[in-house]
Chains A and B, each alone.
Chain A
Amino acid sequence: MKKMLTLLLSAGLVATATQAISSPQEDLEKFRIHYEQRFPGIQLDEFGNGPYALDANKRLQWESMEEFPPYEEYVDKGREIWETPFKNGKSFASCFGKNVSKIRTKYPHWDKKTGKVVTLEGDINKCLKDNGEKPFGWKKGKIAYLGAFIGYEARGQKTNVVIPDDPKALQAYEEGKQFFYAKRGQLNAACADCHVYYPGQRVRGQVLSTALGQTTHFPVYRAKWAKKGKGDGMGTLHRRYGGCNKQVRARPFKAQSKEYRNLEFFHTYMSNGLEINAPGYRE
């Protein structure tokens, strides 16, 4: 009953949230100006450090974590996965090319043939299937390790999502944008409520991060995910989306669902020009 109620509520609210259509470029400009005015003096790339760009105490704790980062062993595991050949003798390099550092900034991207947003995780599992291997789980474990390695090798390169001038691609972008701004769940909160309107403020003890720069550090090592029953700390962007939706008491969508892929398309585009700093550490 409760689930039903939540679902009805979120469905109704999504339908009422309408946004005037503006071009992705116009959206990006407004998005940037908002954060520049809200946080004058913070350099663009600093936003990729989430709450640690906004709160001096949390930053000190984070900097000490970064001295011996807990994600390092998973980057190494990712490297092993990358280097281990498939049963057919091929490897991930046969799908992605030999240069690992050239992969991360190609994602997410619009695929004209299938009319879908393609994510790195989507292509990792496609590569496995095409080579007769069993695909990885979508949210944590091997997919996150390999993603962490691919991200690590691309550190310092700039996010560069291209939204082609194609009605279907623009539609996917628009759906992602609507998702981002629509209130949902029993707590009636949009992504934007916390991460556009209240970043830097605290919800209880947690400092809210800016939506700008959120995508650059995924996959992430999250201390909250390094607990019994949760896993080893590593997780993908879509795992985080699901967690956010649950926190506002909305039913989460499946990892790699159309909803989350389109959200990733919009969300990552908004961070164009920011450096990849994956994998990141977060509380």
Chain B
Amino acid sequence: MTKLTQRLGSTATALALCTGLVFSAQASADDLAAGKKLAFDRAKGNCLACHHIEGGKVAGTIAPPLMAMKARFPDKAKLRAQIWDATAANPNTIMPPMGRHRILSEKEIDQVTDFIHSL
């Protein structure tokens, strides 16, 4: 009986770990919605100032449209790094360093990254 409880317990832990992994790899619908709001908000991410994003109105034309992002950034961490400080890859870029200059908080950058990566 004790053995069974122990087994059940470890199975439960394993299950929890799995769900946890799935959870972190796939953003929740809430995070995606929050990321979208931040990306479209003129006072926040304002990605639309320069990038076309499906569903966004009056987008700018300075930068490439944000689409097929998983193909362009198979590694989500690289996309996050680009959003956090685009000047690391190109010091002359016109893209504001969203994290380095604290335009967005770390949590907001996570949410924007989730949303952009989903495009």
| A contact set with B: CB distance below 8 Å | 5, 9, 186-189, 193-194, 197-198, 201-205
Contact = CB atoms under 8 A, between A and B. Distances in A.
Overall SS of chain B's interface: loop
Contact of B50 (A5, A203, A205): A203
Contact of A188 (B58, B62, B97): B97
B50 A186 contact: no
Contacts, number: 38
Contacts of A202: 60-62
B97 A203 contact: no
B102 A5 contact: yes
Contacts of B62: 198, 201-203
Contacts of A188: 87, 96-97, 101
Contacts of B87: 188
B94 A189 contact: yes
Contacts of B48: 204
A194 B93 CA distance: 11
B58 A186 contact: no
A193 B87 CA distance: 13
A194 B61 CA distance: 12
B79 interface: no
Given A186-B103, A187-B103, A188-B87, A201 B61 contact: yes
Given A9-B101, A204-B59, A186 B96 contact: yes
Contacts of B34: none
Interface string B22-54: 000000000000000000001000001110000
Given A202-B60, A203-B60, A205-B58, 7 more contacts: A186-B103, A188-B87, A189-B94, A201-B60, A201-B61, A202-B61, A204-B42
